[in-house]
Amino acid sequence: MLFRNALVHTGTETIPDCDIRIEEGKIAELGKGLEPKSGEASVDLSGKQVFPGFIDAGDYAGATDMAYEAKDFNENSNPVVPHLDIWHSIDPDELTRQELYMSGITSVAVSPGGNCVLGGTVAVVKTYGKNLHRMTVKRDAALKGSVTKEVSRVFGARWAKTRMAMIQLLKEALQQGNYEGSYRYRRTQEVIGSVLKGKIPLIIEAETAAEMESVMDALKDLVESGIRLAFVVAFQADRAGEAIKKANAQVILGEFTHYTSMMRNEANFAALVQLAKDGVPFSIALLSEDSICGRECYFWTAAKLRQGGVDEKLLLDMMCGNPARLFGVDDRIGALAPGLDADFVIFEGNPLTQVEARVLETFIEGRSVYKAGREE
């Protein structure tokens, strides 16, 4: 299938009058002046803009149900469960029902919730489908933990009431050599080993600057030896900015508008954007303190980053390229280039600059999963 004459934002450059050839769910060719092969369908996209499918870098959509009763994203029996794999908790129907693809989000990093100090591994999956195998981009894409008050709320009676105890649990869990013998420990060793070797990032849910700083302080030896740290939700990342830069850590911004709190009200987007301009890689997530939000909020956070002065290029990188690199899936998603998955969104207008820009059609692996006005 050939898409012709669109203004294509590849993730690194913007090409006018650009054509994209899709074959077997992948981008086969991308550039100017491609001619249809015999028998190949072609669609004219003159006046339209094409973006890579966006990535929601933290969510537990699919790991619970619409009634919010399944709640398979937290294993509340123990605060340290790095051996668990969120992939086993994902229900593709429930994930699809969140309609993320209608806002142009084609991949999501489904993550354990914020209850456990180490809650399990993250899976990157597509946002539409019925078969989890086919939707999966990568399992064990990161290890997810938390040092928020949720840990204290859930495990305060027996394990960790204070942040100092959470940090201690985190440090102990990351000690190499603690794990041998049974399958449980071999699996733990495998996950922790990947973190320690810098193969996968360690993503810690933290809201305040103090939470982030205490983690970086406790793990500074590990950071020096090359573990890759990212903070998710991270409302006050700017206030921990110096430490974040020093630790080469990343920021996955959570959602700011759902439920009011002083912490969110006082978020400083100009300072957050400055931190990103200083080179700290940012991504955008629908995760928030003890909740996840609807697809609309993805662009609300983008709007707030624009309020803070982010330029188009950096914003698009936060939505596509950077999260793909963070989770080690940039060989599949996060940009438009030959060989990558044909996950893309056709827009009328430019959603990075214009509120009025509308999703016309969303494609995942070359298949139209949403078209404006089509009865689903």
Using CB under 8 A, pick the residue from 101, 128, 235, 299 that binds another protein: 299
Rounded to the nearest 10 degrees, what angle do helices 296-307 and 312-319 cross at?
Answer: 150
CB of 128 to another protein, least distance (A): 14
Go through the chain and tell me how many residues it has.
376
Name the residue nearer to another protein (CB basis): 61 or 212: 61
68 is a contact residue toward another protein (CB under 8 A):
yes
With CB under 8 A as the contact rule, the residue among 300, 313, 325, 366 that binds another protein is 300
- Which two three-digit tokens encode residue 339? 């060989």
* CA 284, chain centre distance (Å): 6
Q: Which of 176, 358, 367, 368 binds another protein (CB under 8 A)?
A: 358
- Amino acid symbol at 53: G
Nearest 5°: phi and psi at 315? -65, -45
Query: What is the C-alpha separation between 124 and 56, in angstroms, rounded?
Result: 9
Size of residue set near another protein by CB under 8 A: 46
**Cβ 106 vs Cβ 364: under 8 Å:** yes
Using the contact rule CB under 8 A, the part of the chain among 23-31, 34-42, 219-227, 345-353 near another protein is 345-353
Which H or E run includes 341? none
Provide the sign of the torsion angle of the four alpha carbons 138, 151, 80, 196, taken in this order: positive
List 177, 180, 262, 375, residue binding another protein (CB under 8 A): 262
Helix (H, G, I), strand (E, B) or coil at 335: coil
Element at 282 (helix H, strand E): strand 282-284
In the complex, the smallest distance separating the C-beta of residue 372 from another protein, rounded to whole angstroms, is: 9
Return the number of the residue (228 or 306) whose C-beta is nearest another protein: 306
Indicate the residue among 77 and 265 with the shorter CB distance to another protein: 265
Is residue 313 close enough to count as binding another protein by CB under 8 A? no
**66 versus 164: smaller Cβ distance to another protein:** 66
Nearer residue to another protein within complex by CB, 59 or 343: 59
Q: Which is nearer to another protein, 320 or 329 (CB)?
A: 320
Which residue's CB is nearer to another protein, number 174 or number 315? 315
Q: Which helix H or strand E contains 212, and what residues bound it?
A: helix 209-218
Instruction: Give exposure, 187-203, as e/b (b: 16+ Cβ within 10 Å).
Output: ebbebbebbbeeebbbb
Task: Verify binding: residue 230, another protein, rule CB under 8 A.
Answer: no
CB 49, CB 7: distance < 8 Å: yes
Residue 40, both tokens:
């190949």
DSSP state of 336: -
Going residue by residue from 268 to 287, which x/- string records binding to another protein, judged by CB under 8 A? x-xx--x-----------x-
Please select the residue that binds another protein; options are 76, 178, 353, 368, rule is CB under 8 A.
Answer: 353
Contact residues toward another protein (CB under 8 A) are 61, 66-68, 97-99, 256-262, 264-265, 268, 270-271, 274, 286, 291-294, 296-297, 299-300, 302-310, 351-358
